[in-house]
Structures are given as structure tokens and as C-alpha cells.
Amino acid sequence: MLPIQILLTRGPFHFPSDAETGGPETVRERCLQDLRERLALRANLLQDRLDQARAAVLECRDEAGRRKRLTADERAALTGRTAAAEASHRRLRAQLAAWKHEASERYDSLAGQLEVDPRGFVGRRGDESASG
């Protein structure tokens, strides 16, 4: 959310013309590029979390391999940590796969909307306010 001072100093919203934006094709490409970047950012964040979870699983397994003599309590604690790390890894792997599918659908949806009206909502909103 923007601070109130910024909102108050911006003035009325201005709908850019085709000359200001570079035309409908440039607007379309900018919109798609922006969406690609945002979708990739989220995918990269999920991938980073997945990598961290995988490292935690490997660390637990390495510890189990190094420590030959464990008490029952220590073994139970290590088994619990390993199971939790593996569950987290599986969950994140599923989230990343689902996100990749959703991201593809979002991109295709926006590309289709921009194909129908390359100006997106900018032209429709501007036309509505001018006619009303």
C-alpha cells in the first residue's frame, strides 16, 4: 500500500495514448514480459525453498550415516527430523509443479486477452469514462 502522501501528490490517473506507450503491440509485449518476470520470480522463490528443503533432507541422512551409536531417544528425534524434512521437500516439490502449471495457464490467459484487445483494460476504461 502506498503512503497517503504519495497518493495525494500523484493527481488524477492518466490513461496513456498509443503514442506514449509505443502502440498496442508494445503494450502487449510489455504486459507479457512483466507477467513472465513475476511468474518466474515466484517460481524461483519456490525453487530456492525446495533446494533448502533438499539440503535439510541430505543433512539429516548424512547425520544418520555418521552417527552409528544413537540412543533410542536420539534415533527417534533424528527419524522425526528426517521425516519432517522429507515431507517438506515433497510438499514444496508439489507446490512448484502446481505453480508451473498455474503460471502457464495465467500466461496463456493474459496472452489470449491481449490478443482480443491488445490495449487490455486501459482502452476500455478510458472509453467508458469518456462516454459517461
Share of the chain above pLDDT 70, in %: 70
Q: Which residue type sits at 85? A: A
pLDDT for 95-115, tens place per residue?
Answer: 999 999 999 999 999 989 888
pLDDT for 48-95, tens place per residue?
Answer: 999 999 999 999 989 888 887 888 898 899 999 999 999 999 999 999
Q: 54 vs 24, 78, 115, CA distance in Å?
A: 44, 16, 41
What does the domain layout of the chain look like in residue ranges?
39-118
Nearest to 41, CA basis, from 33, 29, 52: 33
What is d(CA 104, CA 97) in angstroms, rounded to the nearest whole number?
11
What is d(CA 57, CA 51) in angstroms, rounded to the nearest whole number?
10
**pLDDT exceeds cutoff 70 at 121:** no
Strand runs labelled E in 30-119: none
